[in-house]
Amino acid sequence: MKKIFIFFALIISACESENYDIISSDNFITVERGNAPFLKFSKLSGVSIIYDKSIPFKDLNKNKKLDKYEDWRLSSEERAIDLASKLSLNEIAGLMLYSSHQSLPGRSMGAWMSSSYNGLPFEQSNALASDLTDEQKKFITEDNLRHILITSVDSPEVAAIWSNNVQELSESLGFGIPVNVSSDPRHGNDAFALFNSGEKQKISIWPSTLGLAASFDPSLMKKFGEIASIEYRALGITTALSPQIDIATDPRWYRFDGTMGEDVILSTDLARAYVDGFQSTNNHGWGKESVNAMIKHWPGGGSGEGGRDGHFGYGAYAIYPANNFENHLKPFTEGAFKLNGQTKKASAVMPYYTVSLGYGDRVGSGFNKYLITDILRNKFNYDGVLCTDWAITKDVSSVSLMQGKSWGVENFSEAEKHFLAIDAGMDQFGGNDDYVPVVEAYKIGVEKYGEEYMRKRFEKSAVRLLINIFNVGLFENPYLDIDQSKQTVGNDSFVKEGFNAQLKSIVMLKNSDVLPFLNQKKVYVPKRYNPPTKIFFGMMQTEGGYEYPIDMETISKYFQIVDNPEDADFALLGIKDPDGGNGYDTDDLKNGGNGYMPINLQYSDYTATNAREKSLSGGSPFEDFNNRSYKGKTIKTNNYSDMTLVRDTKKIMGEKPVILVLEVSRPMVMKEIELYTDVLLISTGVEDKALLEIISGKVEPSGLLPFQMPANMETVESQFEDMSRDMIPHVDKNGNKYDFAFGMNWSGVIKDHRVKKYK
């Protein structure tokens, strides 16, 4: 200990002239420049400081000399090329992995997520929530993995301590390559945000991406990115697995609510703003608040036949009956690849699961050399990281189970699937913790192309991956100040900005001279039946039951609550859009059908009399037929009771106003409920207070529909899956058309600069 003290005294003396200060704390050594942390490393990692002309650098590989990759004066590309050339095959293979979903603390969710601490579940282990799991230790030390996806965390403090623990371990190994931690969107007030952020985590709450799109304001989208990136960095997150910039051209798509709507021009502008906000610190380019953006899903996943989703084999195909393929590329090529900021382009791209019929081989996008190399790499000159969506190399045995998603190559081995993706142009594998299949893929490539070619090919991917880690400054300082993280995440100013954005996301579709209220009112709020509902792509199911749709304590701060409708001045209802299935039913298959069903966007039963006689897509090794038509089949809606509630309440209230708050995840047929309402507000998942600020008249609504509301299921069935804005919109009893860019304020239909620009 005495020798270490003398060593640091000499360091301080040597670098005084360069204005570098060395700070020794209990766990870390920090080099400050200009009174700000510049270099930082753990005392336990074996890293030390080396000098070039009295300038300090981290000796990450502990060889007592300054390597190019350790020289922070060089560009990210120069450093990445040097480091990639030094890495072994196994180390590059580890870089090409992106972990399965990790929660903090580690929990188990069947085969999809499994964690232990010294062989025990967290609850039995006496481990801290911030400790590394057995699985995390293994894939960092043995599999050389350096990209981790986190989901729920107990608190910002837990996330920050865990992040430091992860970085300390990786810093002690080999070349000291830091870990790039990533997250799916975690700022929304919805079930997915709960899954990604955890119940206990305090973080600023913003509208969903679709809700932000309803503002029709790219500057607001950029502001979200700027604030979210600061909170991400305080949690240790340096890559966002977002934004989802698929154009949602089919209204039935399960993932519609994660998009920026159905319009190509609006989506392009918003995509550019989102990525600029995340990647460019204070508009200056890469910096300490920058977060890599991984845009998804190339070439656009919003045109699945019948609205079915590519997470399952029954939704494997994207189709283009209107020949509108090129428009689906524009949010990528004209938006995220042409940033206003100095980072120039999105750091990474994630292709989708789907097979794009008519464009390359009949294989999923991650295996499609035409889409990846010919179009993305060569035509549009994209040289960033390409990461597969999760589990495309895993095995699959059915079109209806949540397993692997290797559409078109289901019968290949796991190693062969990895090779096919690499050969198509991919750099990284989402949801793979094991480097062995990547090494096996390398060997397959050597047999086909030779050792020299494959080594260069692997180094090319390694360079791309390392550039993103260098860009965000992790090699210099991957560590967090725990107290600062606690103060940053969810601070008052960020919460206020998020709440203001929520207000701007709410769309008023109807107001029959009811709002704004000019005085205190008495309100009747009936309970809503919340049926058991499958969430997270069918992997989990809620229990269901009766509940108030809006928090009653929050309502009481705005209105007097009464139990008797006769005593009320108005009724306030909250319901959700129709839950009309996912396009497939195993019971139909068991009963002699093909399993394929319509997706229902209305509450009433729907029979698909106008569906295609023969599907445009089809074919699976798990099916002995190609025709996926569902013509003539009938589908029920899970939450039919929502329609009943609206109609019954209007009958009870008579001439008194009924205000309906409708939480939507995609377009829906309005005719069944609109007639029974006097005020209709659309939300994509906001806090109750935001809704009540508008209902009480304190805030004027300003949101616009980023999609069409269809007049009926016939227009849904007849629209083209790849075409935007091609449905007949609903017209309400006041004569207003619920078309793209429609919305109302207190004065009536909004006709401002946003409508002029985008409608």
Quote the distance between the C-alpha of residue 669 and its chain's center.
27
Question: What CATH code is carried by the domain that includes residue 569?
Answer: 3.40.50.1700
User: What residue type is 440 in one-letter code?
Assistant: E
- pLDDT of the residue at 6: 31
514 and 562 both lie in a single domain: yes
625 and 692 both lie in a single domain: no
- pLDDT of the residue at 593: 98
45 and 153 both lie in a single domain: no
Question: Does residue 344 lie within any of the structural domains?
Answer: yes
Question: Does residue 118 lie within any of the structural domains?
Answer: no
Question: Does residue 536 lie within any of the structural domains?
Answer: yes
Q: How many percent of the chain have pLDDT more than 70? A: 94
**187 or 159, which is more confident?**
159
37 and 181 both lie in a single domain: no
| Lowest-pLDDT range of 168-182, 227-241, 508-522 | 508-522
The confidence band for 12, taking pLDDT boundaries of 50, 70 and 90, is very low
Cis peptide, bond prior to residue 105, ω within 30 of zero: yes
Handedness of CA 733, 735, 738, 742 (dihedral sign): negative
**Cβ-based neighbours of 88, under 8 Å, separated by 6 or more:** none
Question: Alpha-carbon distance 31 to 54, whole Å?
Answer: 13
Average pLDDT (432-446) is 98
Rg (CA), the chain: 27
- pLDDT of the residue at 533: 79
273 and 381 both lie in a single domain: yes
Query: Would you say 593 and 630 are in contact if contact means Cβ atoms under 8 Å apart?
Result: no
Average pLDDT (713-722) is 98
**269-326 pLDDT per residue, tens:** 999 999 999 999 999 999 999 999 999 999 999 999 999 999 999 999 999 999 999 9
- pLDDT of the residue at 36: 86
pTM of full prediction above 0.75: yes
Question: Alpha-carbon distance 68 to 81, whole Å?
Answer: 9
168 and 46 both lie in a single domain: no
**CA triplet 245, 247, 250: central angle to 5 degrees?**
140
Give the SS3 label for residue 361.
coil
Question: Does residue 493 lie within any of the structural domains?
Answer: no
Question: Does residue 707 lie within any of the structural domains?
Answer: no
Can you give the length of the chain in residues?
Answer: 759
**143-157 pLDDT per residue, tens:** 999 999 999 999 999
478 and 410 both lie in a single domain: yes
550 and 594 both lie in a single domain: no
Question: Alpha-carbon distance 308 to 313, whole Å?
Answer: 9
Query: Would you say 353 and 365 are in contact if contact means Cβ atoms under 8 Å apart?
Result: yes
- 317-318 vs 355-356, strand pairing mode: parallel
- pLDDT of the residue at 537: 62
Cis peptide, bond prior to residue 516, ω within 30 of zero: yes
Average pLDDT (176-187) is 95
What six digits make up the tokens of 710? 């269809």
Domain stop point among 421, 455, 488:
488
**636-679 pLDDT per residue, tens:** 999 999 999 999 999 999 999 999 999 999 999 999 999 999 99
514 and 402 both lie in a single domain: no
Quote the distance between the C-alpha of residue 87 and its chain's center.
31
- pLDDT of the residue at 11: 41
Domain stop point among 17, 39, 66:
66
- pLDDT of the residue at 26: 86
CA–CA distances in Å: residue 239 to residues 184, 332, 692: 9, 18, 35
Question: Does residue 452 lie within any of the structural domains?
Answer: yes
237-264: burial string, b at 16+ Cβ within 10 Å, e else:
bbbbbbbbbbbbbbbbbbbbbbbbbbbb
Question: What CATH code is carried by the domain that includes residue 391?
Answer: 3.20.20.300
Question: Alpha-carbon distance 599 to 608, whole Å?
Answer: 9
Give the H or E element holding residue 191: helix 191-197
Average pLDDT (433-451) is 98
User: What residue type is 740 in one-letter code?
Assistant: F
Question: Alpha-carbon distance 660 to 56, whole Å?
Answer: 63
Three-class HEC string of 540-588: EECCCEEECCCCHHHHHCCCEEECCHHHCCEEEEEEECCCECCCECHHH
Looking at the DSSP bridge assignments, the partners of residue 237 are 181
702-736: burial string, b at 16+ Cβ within 10 Å, e else:
bbbbbbbbbbbbbbbbebbbbbbbbbbbbbbeeeb
Question: Does residue 242 lie within any of the structural domains?
Answer: yes
- pLDDT of the residue at 9: 36
The confidence band for 193, taking pLDDT boundaries of 50, 70 and 90, is low
Task: Please state the φ and ψ torsions of residue 209, each to the nearest 5 degrees.
Answer: -55, -40
Domain residues for the domain of 747 are 507-578+639-702+729-758
Question: Does residue 709 lie within any of the structural domains?
Answer: no
Question: Alpha-carbon distance 87 to 131, whole Å?
Answer: 28
368: left (phi over 0), alpha (psi -120 to 50) or beta: beta
Q: Is the pLDDT of residue 734 over 70?
A: yes
**74-124 pLDDT per residue, tens:** 999 999 999 999 999 999 999 999 999 999 999 876 655 689 999 999 999
**42-53 pLDDT per residue, tens:** 999 999 999 999
**49 or 2, which is more confident?**
49
Q: Is the pLDDT of residue 334 over 70?
A: yes
Tally of domains in the chain: 4
What six digits make up the tokens of 509? 């579709």
170 and 293 both lie in a single domain: yes
Number of neighbours of residue 150 by Cβ within 10 angstroms:
25
Domain stop point among 488, 520, 541:
488
Nearest one of 203, 224, 223 to 490, comparing CA atoms: 203
Torsion of CA 156, 158, 159, 163, to 10 degrees: 140
Quote the distance between the C-alpha of residue 578 and its chain's center.
23
- pLDDT of the residue at 199: 42
* Strand order through the sheet with 658-663: 560-562, 522-524, 570-576, 658-663, 679-683, 507-511, 744-745, 748-749
CA–CA distances in Å: residue 386 to residues 39, 320, 461: 29, 24, 9
Q: Is the pLDDT of residue 590 over 90?
A: yes
Average pLDDT (185-193) is 70
Mean pLDDT of the chain: 94
Question: Alpha-carbon distance 276 to 281, whole Å?
Answer: 9
The single-letter DSSP state of residue 94 is H
613 and 680 both lie in a single domain: no
Average pLDDT (243-266) is 98
CA–CA distances in Å: residue 496 to residues 491, 556, 730: 9, 22, 35
Q: Is the pLDDT of residue 188 over 50?
A: yes
Count Cβ atoms within 10 A of the Cβ of residue 221 and give its class: 0-12 exposed, 13-18 middle, 19 or more buried.
buried
| Lowest-pLDDT range of 121-135, 176-190, 538-552 | 538-552
DSSP structure string for 270-306: HHHHHHHHHHSGGGSSS-TT--EEEEEEET-STTBGG
The confidence band for 8, taking pLDDT boundaries of 50, 70 and 90, is very low
Average pLDDT (461-488) is 98
564 and 468 both lie in a single domain: no
Query: Would you say 58 and 79 are in contact if contact means Cβ atoms under 8 Å apart?
Result: no
